[in-house]
Structure 1
Amino acid sequence: MMGLKRKNSAESTDLNLLNDVQKQLRVNLQLWGATHDAGERLLSLYSVEAQHLEELVTRTLTLGESNSALIVAPRGTGKSSLVNTVLEKLESSRTLGEGLVVRLSGLLQTDDRLALKEITCQLKLENATANKVFGSFAENLAFLLESLRSGSKETSKPVIFILDEFDLFCHHRNQTLLYNLFDVAQSAQAPICVLGLTCRLDVIELLEKRVKSRFSHRQIHLYPADKFDPHYLNTFKHLLELPFSFPHKNFAQKWNSDVAVLAKDSLVIQVLKRLHSITKDVRTLKTFLLLCVCQLNSDQAQLTSQMFQRAQSLSATEAKTNMLQGLSVLQLCLIVAMKHLTVIYEGEPFNFEMVFHEYLKFSQQRSTMQSFEQPVVFKAFDQLKSLELVRTVESTRGTQREYQLVKLMMEPNHVVKALSQLSGIPTDLQQWAASSLA
């Protein structure tokens, strides 16, 4: 009995340890870009850009100088993380002082009214504006900034405005928010620094003429470190390593050494290079590694190269390809017929009558399978539309359903590849799909 208790206790400990490992790795994948280690890495990668940004914000905080700038970079590069790291550095050096940071997002503050409400909330001035009626947006914003003054202009609290998804603010009515922020920055009414974060290179062209004239036209571009070795490979290791704070020190040390070995494994490197060739976005790498971490279990508590290969096959499978597995043979015949029509008409839309004609040619001349009447075929076609494998072209409203123009929502080569992976498909259908003749 004592031996059995010890065995159960050991198994319980192993399960608890595995749960702790998976929990920590999920935290790594979720918070990468917001952790101290990620911030330090960004500062080293973009040292010149970070110094420029730091000097810009520092002049606003210490000298009361108003500034504006755009930070332009592809998604997943680390724009927000770099700004946050610079602000944390200024806070730790006490340069930030009484400076306030207002964070807005074009995805959340979809109009100027919501933006102004959020600014008021983050500046904690709800009580000051509760009983006041303002004639314009500019008057309201001026009052908010005036409320931050304690005596003269020199003793005003500086405000750092961070506008994430900056290009979405350009679609606000009359661009009132941007106009007033840039106007305050240009006229030095109050010490503010406006930082816009965007992934659009043409964002300046979206600004109205009056807004553009008040913007400093200062742009900071972050060019992603796209080299596989060492940048991408180092990120891979950072995401999977257990931190020093992990409670099981001996296990963490062994785990990290195993991760270093994995980073040199030829199979793992082959999988990572393929992913890197498709996209260099760290978020895609994080999603991929999550598929690997989810394969850990009590029998296999260490990552292996086979897990990476399984994750690759899972991530490479498209949703529409999976949907083909549940279709009938008749529906698959219609998919192949539409594949041929897409090739023949070079991507131009077609209608059901054309699809039915292609199906009849196949079933009567080249197939030994059962042939179905038009009403049955149309019902199968309608089900493909409800699954969104086929999409109706919008300009065909009011037309009879049989003659409505549609498009197949799969690439022809994907259809052939998907059918080759399905089991139990008639040979006639596979040959028709692979042929270049309709």
Structure 2
Amino acid sequence: MGTVRPSSRRPTRIGRVLRTLDLTGVDGAYRSLLPRGEFDVEAALDRVRPIVDDVAARGAEALTEYSHRFDGVVPPSLRVPADVLARCASELDPQLAQAFAEAIRRRRAVAESLERDADPAPAQVADGARVGLRNVPVRRVGLYVPGGLAPLASSVIMNVVPAQVAGVTSIAIASPPQKDFGGLPHPSILALCHLLGVDEVYAVGGAQAIAMFAHGVADLCEPVDLVTGPGNIYVVAAKRLVRGLVGIDAEAGPTEIAIVADATADPRYVAADLISQAEHDPLAAAVLITASEDLAARVQEEVAAQVAATRHAERVTTALAGEQSAIVLVRDLDQAVAVADAYAAEHLEIQTADAAAVAARISNAGAIFVGDYSPVSLGDYSAGSTHVLPTAGCACHSSGLTVRSFMRTVHVIDYSREALLEIADGVELFALAENLPAHANAVTVRRDA
């Protein structure tokens, strides 16, 4: 393995925001060298465990106290009334309502055409011996929608649509109460709930919302079977605590973007896309992987100029200057692909010549955005894809939230007497070899039936 060294490339005319990591002399073992921020869920557990236990013990009384403590407002009603959802939908700006409707249409189209598996025909493993497969939806899910630095109304679409397409019959949504809206979640979140036909909505945020879903609250919220949706480290810690009692989608960390770009890339696009994800959170990660020194320098200039003009400049600068963000210099496109696979980004953009061919070489990514006109922002809202994606390198083993996330697979075994007797000797021998004679007898007793 080579040596990682800080770059001594020519300076830009404008002060640099992103640090540079030079991997041109490194071969392999990239994962441990690439920029990653700290997201210590274990450290948050001690703060979250008393909240989860308190909600389980005291229910609505605890939820009300935590709303006052953490959100600075007590909702007029923990469950948002249906007429409030309808009012928020009716008060939407018409153009925003149209944008919402189109985002819903595209997400549903992708979910129905690509993500919903029909039950396949049973496998005939021998005469009279069939094994089938049924995809069964989860009965009830609790969907969490963040409302902190950015009220992610788009997460309503990304959670609800695939759950509905999967056939989930009971859907509940929780989002933090907001001081600015009289203790209700953001109106756009409530409007989308109404547009999607979800009327069980709670003005409850943070770890206490996850506890409410997992344990249930008497006379308010029935326990769920599955909890999904992004959130801060305390939401993630709460999901870890209740995992096993309920299913969870993932332990998602701060958002991240990686861009593989060559000399053909437009530095304005690259800079804008890095900034777009840095806007989410001071802990957000933004990584450019390139073999072009000139592009790296031009992106530095563009980042500095664009950050100065953006509304959330302080938040963006903190994210871009953090240890989780960098420009990674590589020897060539082959190394860039290897580094991108090692990083396993939540969002991976390919801005190169023949971008589709380069994208086809990538194995590890939550979602891949191909070419100059497929920015991550498109996927965040209206591409039709999901934006609930694995973070922190988990894309090497996990997938984003889709219809299949809300379904369970059930095998259906259907053997005739003759088919069982044909394999009976083998089953009995297998059971006895494991010292489980009663297992063997459950077959033996049927021999003379």
Q: What TM-score do you get using the length of structure 1 for normalisation?
A: 0.24
Larger radius of gyration: 1
Bigger helix fraction: 1
Bigger strand fraction: 2
Q: What TM-score do you get using the length of structure 2 for normalisation?
A: 0.24
Greater RCO, 1 or 2 (C-alpha within 8 Å, sep 6+)? 2
